[in-house]
Copies of this chain bind each other. A is one copy, B any other.
Amino acid sequence: MGFTVEMTPAIAEKLVTLNELHRNRWRPDIVNLLLETDTLRFGELKKQLGITQKVLTENLKWLEENQIVIRTVYPEVPPRVEYSLTEIGKELRDVHEAMRIWADYYVTHAK
């Protein structure tokens, strides 16, 4: 990298959002899984993550409210609800990639 993004109050606010995302136990895992799999039903997310229904619901709701995840309800019985990333959510790939690069640097430079 090497360049710098200017810091405005609006950007600072979204950095807070990003902090709230990463401070959570499951939110990064949910995003990672959706980055890999694109679209998943509630039950699939639950099974693949090994997470509780309550906690999964709470965090999906938070991710939706913060425009990172899209929730699509199909009017069927039994109900079918699918989750996928918004464009903003998909942009998190670069953040995760930066993290992997850092981890790689760590491995090659740690004493």
Q: Which residues of A contact B (CB under 8 A)?
A: 1, 3-5, 7-8, 10-12, 14-15, 17-19, 22-25, 28, 67, 87-88, 91-92, 94-95, 97-107, 109-111
Contacts A22-B22, A88-B106 hold; do A101 and B28 have CB atoms under 8 A apart?
A: no
Distance between A110 CB and nearest chain B CB, rounded to angstroms: 6
Distance between A67 CB and nearest chain B CB, rounded to angstroms: 6
A5 to B99, CA, bound (A): 10
Known: A88-B109, A97-B98. 19 other contacts (CB 8 A): A1-B97, A4-B100, A5-B97, A5-B100, A5-B101, A7-B100, A11-B100, A11-B103, A14-B102, A14-B107, A15-B99, A15-B100, A19-B28, A22-B22, A23-B25, A88-B106, A95-B102, A98-B98, A98-B99
- Closest B residue by C-beta to A8: B107
Complex interface: chain B residues within 8 A of A67 (CB): 106, 110-111
Complex interface: chain B residues within 8 A of A111 (CB): 67
